[in-house]
Structure 1
Amino acid sequence: MKPFLRVRGLRSGYAGGVVLGGLDLDAEEGGIVAVLGRNGVGKTTLISTVMGFVRPYEGSITLDGRELAGARVDVIARAGVGVVPQGRRVFAPLTVAEHLAIAARRRAATGPWNRARILYLLPRLGERLGHRGDELSGGEQQMLAIARALLGNPRLLLLDEPSDGLAPAIVSQVGEVIREVSAEGMTVVLVEQNLALALSVAEHVAVMQKGSIVHRAPCAEFASSPGDRRRLLGVD
């Protein structure tokens, strides 16, 4: 079966420097792939290149057969790609309600995710509609970043370190959201340092080293292989 997301020979970086050196990655429709790796191996560059924030030097990125490598961010978003960036990047002066209203303007004409459903899934946001971005906790900002992405009704959701700096209870809630969107057919690529979260939600792992995927495995296999985890990630 052809992968829904297919990345081949992807090379990209910054100011002529190479970070990704011929990377390949697949994700099946409705599946969750966790991209793992130590700091500095290029995980965020991968997310940024797929989303169009970084222009690739060469290689192919296809979504459901459509080539997106080198396309503008707005073109990629309209093709069905949404992103939850590392660090949340909410707008400090805007309220939660204003964030959601702006995201809803770009909402696809069809799709299950609207404001009412977002607030049902993430009720804390409903309690904070009048609060500014800089008045939210880290967990609330992360929920807002996820809500903003879902309102675009993406077919592919890219999440870059969504558990970073969050309390365990909020990390658990992030995991529940990821499972729910995948159960409804959304494809998810999850970049994550929290191995417990990644292994609890993903079906497959892809481990990066020095800008390339060097190991692929089903999550159950990787979870039962402490030798692979020590060798590839330096963790038990």
Structure 2
Amino acid sequence: MPPAPPSTPILATRGLVSGYDGSRVLHGVDIAIPEGGVLALLGRNGVGKSTLINTIMGLVRPMAGSVTVAGQEVAGARPDRIAKLGVGLVPQGRRVYGPLTVAEHLDISDRSGRQGAWTRERVIDLLPRLGERMRNRGDQLSGGEQQMLAIARALLTNPTILLLDEPSDGLAPAIVQQVGEVVREVCAAGMTVLVVEQNLRLALSVADHVVVMQKGAVHWDVSVDEFRRNRTRAEELLGI
């Protein structure tokens, strides 16, 4: 019997070229994530990780190449169309609106129109601190609370793919541990996840696959187990 054909990745880029003001940051990036997979995107600062996330989400327009979501081409599409296809973003820096309360942030996400398992009750159960802060404005929250709110907003849109851009950025170690627990719970629930993370321990605790970028291109694409076994190459590429 011939082997079964490989399934279509839920998220894939092929030959993706992107950047800003005519300057190229990504130079033909290929990644593929199967349904339920968790890919950790690693690399030193400035190699193009956030540019890749923003290009997938439609916030940066690609110069060439392909981005597909469940086999559907979305390269160059508007962010709202990509979101409606089931791509959720937790952006670097959290991007919480200061004047809006926690409840108002969640209300906006509730109106995305996508139905699914991530209800407000389930999100608050996952992130109980937000339940205590519903009347507080975004600018009254701690950095950790803002990160929890950014995750809650994305989950309430009921994405099939979650993009996490530096979820531990700027947080105290104790808060990083809490964020890591939340990310692990989301991954364990079967969410397909692409996570950019400088905290290697956090990244490897949630991912099943690793892609390492250098100078806007993929230089290593391996399982987490293989990454752990080849410490010399990890040190060479990441400077750890």
TM-score by length of 2: 0.95
Supply the RMSD in Å over aligned alpha carbons: 1.0
Asked whether 1:117 is paired with 2:122, we answer yes
Kindly indicate whether the alpha-carbon contact (under 8 Å) linking 1:30 and 1:183 is maintained by their aligned counterparts in 2: no
Question: Which runs of 5 or more residues in structure 1 are unaligned?
Answer: none
Moved runs in structure 1, 4+ residues, more than 4 A? none
Kindly indicate whether the alpha-carbon contact (under 8 Å) linking 2:37 and 2:191 is maintained by their aligned counterparts in 1: yes
Kindly indicate whether the alpha-carbon contact (under 8 Å) linking 1:107 and 1:151 is maintained by their aligned counterparts in 2: no
What residue number does 1:203 align with?
208
Shift in Å, 1:31: 0.9
Kindly indicate whether the alpha-carbon contact (under 8 Å) linking 1:139 and 1:166 is maintained by their aligned counterparts in 2: yes
TM-score by length of 1: 0.96
Query: Distance in 2 between the 1:207 and 1:69 partners?
Result: 22
Matched positions, count: 234
Query: Distance in 2 between the 1:153 and 1:99 partners?
Result: 15
Shift in Å, 1:167: 2.1
The alignment-based identity, stated in percent, is: 64
What residue number does 1:84 align with?
90
Task: Output the amino acid matched with 1:152.
Answer: T
Query: Distance in 1 between the 2:121 and 2:181 partners?
Result: 18
Task: Output the amino acid matched with 2:214.
Answer: Q
Shift in Å, 1:30: 0.6
Q: In terms of mean alpha carbon deviation, does 1-10 or 180-189 score higher?
A: 180-189
Query: Distance in 1 between the 2:149 and 2:203 partners?
Result: 21
Deviation per CA, 1:94-132: give whole Å up to 9, x if none.
111111111111141x21011111110000000111111
Shift in Å, 1:163: 0.4
Kindly indicate whether the alpha-carbon contact (under 8 Å) linking 2:184 and 2:205 is maintained by their aligned counterparts in 1: no
Asked whether 1:170 is paired with 2:190, we answer no
In the TM superposition, 1:36-185 aligns within 5 A as 36-108=42-114, 110-185=115-190
Query: Distance in 2 between the 1:39 and 1:181 partners?
Result: 26
What residue number does 2:11 align with?
5
Question: Which runs of 5 or more residues in structure 2 are unaligned?
Answer: 1-5
Shift in Å, 1:173: 2.3
